Amino acid sequence: MIAERVAVLLLLVGLGVLVRRAGIIDSVLARKLSNFLLLVVNPVLIVKAYLRPFDAGEIRCYAAAFALSILAHGLWALLAPVFIRRREDTEYRQERLASIYPNCGFMAIPLVVAILGETGAFYIIAFLSVQAVYLWSHGLGCLGGRRHIRPRKMLVNPGVISLSIGLLLYFTQLPLPNLVREAVSDIASMNTPLAMVLTGVFLSEVKPRELFGDIRVFRAAALRLLLFPALFLVLLRISGFPGWFQGADEVYLAVAVVTACPTAAFSILFSARMNLSGAHSAKLVAVSTILSILTLPVITYFAQAILS
């Protein structure tokens, strides 16, 4: 299943390379589409995730997943500068971002559903929601420096707004017209295809030998795919979290999958928004996605082994 998901992503990336080389999409249009994804499609995706029947039995597990997501991103944000030191170029910023933020949606949700069923997907939604808020605060600061971290932007940004709307709709169960629901669903469905096509557009600027010849890319991938998830899962196991309450073990397994996912494509979109090298971020996404075919099963098995 992991190989199949990665294959789909790589096909979409390949399409992006083709349309860029054919002149259908140029770098200017790619940056505009990146903003469209960040400011419209991704917030709508968050809102859509909460358009589901309210279930009081899910709340405790959802809250736990939400809290674990805050802890995980916070821990990785502290560790990334330790392993990826400041350099004269600006690419170290993109490498830090790539090591911190996993691909929560397209990769994690089908894998967790296969292990835990549809309820497990709700836990991933919590992780995805927190990530969106982090990206619009810490993510911008990581790429652009402290001048981009402003109190107002941390409180009012697409991540916070979409999460607030989603939670409101979920807890109040406000009825939405079918036309609105269908429009939301259609917009949200553009997220993965468009993000990966844009990855291919930026990746078209990279020569094949540069894709696998950059040790910095593999270092970031090793952090994202192996060290960071393994460290977080061990800390959770030491704390005894899987036995804290009924369903905690399922939350643990869901978190295990999402923490081991490859770099989120949004690292490319944020780099484009900050006028940094989209090609370098595309390398980070592509390499980590390919390597995840090997590492995701390892981390998942590791999580199940230490749980037993």
Q: Percentages helix, strand, coil for the chain, rounded to the nearest 5?
A: 80, 0, 20
Decide: 298 and 269 in contact? Cβ < 8 Å.
Answer: no
Secondary structure letter of residue 156 according to DSSP: S
> Contact at 8 Å (CB) between 48 and 128?
no
Per-residue pLDDT tens over the stretch 277-295: 778 888 998 899 889 888 9
**Residue tagged 């971290």 (tokens):** 149
Whole-number pLDDT of residue 274: 81
Rg (CA), the chain: 18
Average pLDDT, the chain: 86
Backbone angles phi, psi at 102, to 5 degrees: -85, 165
DSSP state of 138: I
pLDDT in tens, 132-161: 888 888 888 888 766 656 666 666 778 888
Cα dihedral 269/28/6/250 (nearest 10): 20
Query: How much of the chain, in percent, has pLDDT values that exceed 90?
Result: 32
CA–CA distance, 190 with 279 (Å, rounded to integer): 22
